[in-house]
C-alpha cells in the first residue's frame, strides 16, 4: 500500500512538473526566439521561422543588426527619451499612489468606503476609454510633444492605489498611534515608518509601472510630433513599412529594449513575488 501511494505521488509530481515545464516554455521560448533571431539575417529568419531552427543559433551569426539600429536607427537617442519618461512616470506613480493608498488604508475619514469603491470600479476601465479626454487636457495645458506631456497624465493609476491600500490596511494601526503620541506627524509616519516597511509592494508597483510606461505605444503616438521626444516603441514601429520589414533589426531592437525589463524583474523578483502573495491577490 505504501509503495502504491508512493508511485501515485511520483506520477502526480511528474505530471505537475510536466505542466509547469510546458507553461514555462510558452513564456520563455518567444524570448529565446527574439534574442537568437537578433543575430541572424532577414533571409535566414524567414527561412527558419517555421522550423525548430528558429530557436537555435544556427547559420551565419553576426552583430550587423545591432550595428544598424545603433548607427542608422539611432537606438540610444530613443532609449534616452524612454528612460527619462519612464523614470519620471514611475517615480511619481510609486510615491503619489502610495500616499493615496496610505490614506485609504490607515486613516479613517468620511466617504472612505465610497472612494475605495470608486477606485475599484475605475481599475476595470481600460485606459483607452479615457485616452481622448487626457489628450484634450494635455493639449489645453500646452504639454504636447514634451517630457511632462508623456509622463504626467498616466501617473495616477487605480490599480496601484488599490495595491497600496490592500497593503497598508493590513499594517498594525498601533504603529501610527504610537508615532503620533510621540509627536510625529502623519506625513512623518508615512515617510519614516510605513514606506520603508512597504518594500514588496513598492517593488511590484515599480515593475508594473516600468513595464506600463516603457512599452506604451498609444500615448506617445498621440502626444509626440517629431523625433524630439519619440520613445522606443514608436521607433520600433518605424522598422516595419509597407515596402519592407527589417526582421533582423526589429529583433535586435526588441532585444535591447527588453533587457532593462528583465534586469529590473530579476533584481526585484523576491519582493515582487512577496507582494503578489501578500497583497496583490487577497482582498
Q: What is the mean pLDDT of residues 54-70?
A: 89
Q: What's the DSSP call for residue 196?
A: T
Which pLDDT score is estimated for 3? 67
- pLDDT at position 109 is 82
Question: CATH 1.10.3720.10 in the chain, residues?
Answer: 73-280
**What is the number of other CB atoms lying within 10 angstroms of the CB of residue 222?**
16
The average pLDDT across 25-52 equals 89
C-alpha Rg value of the chain to the nearest Å: 24
The C-alpha angle 75, 266, 247, rounded to 5 degrees, equals: 35
Q: Which of 34-38, 133-137, 148-152, 235-239 has the lowest mean pLDDT?
A: 235-239
- Written as nine digits, the cell of 159 is 490599480
Binning the chain into helix, strand and coil, the percentages to the nearest 5 are: 75, 0, 25
Q: How many CB atoms lie within 10 A of CB 127?
A: 14
Query: What is the third-level CATH fold of 73-280?
Result: MetI-like fold (1.10.3720)
DSSP code for 280: I
- Give dist(CA 179, CA 189) in Å, integer: 7
* 268 φ, ψ (degrees, to nearest 5): -110, 20
* Percentage of the residues of the chain whose pLDDT score is greater than 70: 94
Residue 57: how many CA atoms within 13 Å on its side-chain side? 8
Enumerate residues 6+ apart whose C-beta is below 8 A from 85.
147, 150, 151, 213, 220, 229, 231
For every residue of 234-276, DSSP letters joined together read HHHHTTB-SS-B-HHHHHHHHHHHHHHHHHHHHHHHHHHHHHI
| pLDDT above 90 (res 150) | yes
- The SS3 of residue 146 is coil
Q: How many of the other CB atoms lie within 10 Å of CB of 238?
A: 13
How far apart (Å, rounded) are the C-alpha atoms in residues 198 and 177? 18
Q: Which residues have CB under 8 Å from 258's CB, separation 6+?
A: 31, 34
pTM score: 0.83
**Confidence at 264, pLDDT banded by 50, 70, 90:** confident
Amino acid at each position: 500500500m505504501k509503495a502504491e501511494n508512493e508511485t501515485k505521488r511520483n506520477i502526480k509530481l511528474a505530471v505537475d512538473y510536466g505542466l509547469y515545464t510546458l507553461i514555462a516554455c510558452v513564456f520563455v521560448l518567444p524570448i529565446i526566439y527574439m534574442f537568437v533571431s537578433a543575430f541572424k539575417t532577414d533571409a535566414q529568419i524567414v527561412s527558419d521561422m517555421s522550423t525548430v531552427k528558429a530557436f537555435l543559433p544556427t547559420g551565419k551569426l553576426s552583430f550587423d543588426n545591432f550595428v544598424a539600429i545603433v548607427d542608422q536607427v539611432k537606438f540610444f537617442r530613443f532609449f534616452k527619451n524612454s528612460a527619462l519618461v519612464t523614470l519620471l512616470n514611475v517615480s511619481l506613480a510609486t510615491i503619489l499612489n502610495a500616499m493615496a493608498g496610505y490614506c485609504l488604508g490607515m486613516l479613517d475619514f468620511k466617504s472612505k468606503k465610497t472612494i475605495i469603491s470608486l477606485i475599484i470600479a475605475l481599475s476595470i476601465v481600460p485606459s483607452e476609454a479615457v485616452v481622448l479626454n487626457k489628450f484634450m487636457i494635455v493639449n489645453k495645458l500646452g504639454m504636447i510633444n514634451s517630457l511632462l506631456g508623456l509622463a504626467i497624465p498616466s501617473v495616477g493609476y487605480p490599480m496601484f492605489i488599490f495595491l497600496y491600500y490592500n497593503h497598508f490596511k493590513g499594517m498594525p494601526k498601533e504603529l501610527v498611534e504610537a508615532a503620533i503620541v510621540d509627536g510625529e506627524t502623519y506625513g512623518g509616519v508615512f515617510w519614516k515608518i510605513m514606506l520603508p516597511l512597504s518594500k514588496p509592494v513598492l517593488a511590484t508597483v515599480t515593475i508594473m509601472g516600468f513595464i506600463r510606461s516603457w512599452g506604451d505605444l498609444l500615448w506617445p503616438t498621440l502626444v509626440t510630433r517629431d523625433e524630439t521626444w519619440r520613445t522606443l516603441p514608436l521607433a520600433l514601429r518605424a522598422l516595419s513599412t509597407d515596402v519592407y520589414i527589417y526582421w533582423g533589426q526589429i529583433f535586435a531592437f526588441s532585444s535591447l529594449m527588453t533587457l532593462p525589463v528583465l534586469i529590473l524583474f530579476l533584481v526585484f523578483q523576491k519582493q515582487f513575488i512577496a507582494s503578489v502573495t501578500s497583497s496583490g491577490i487577497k482582498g
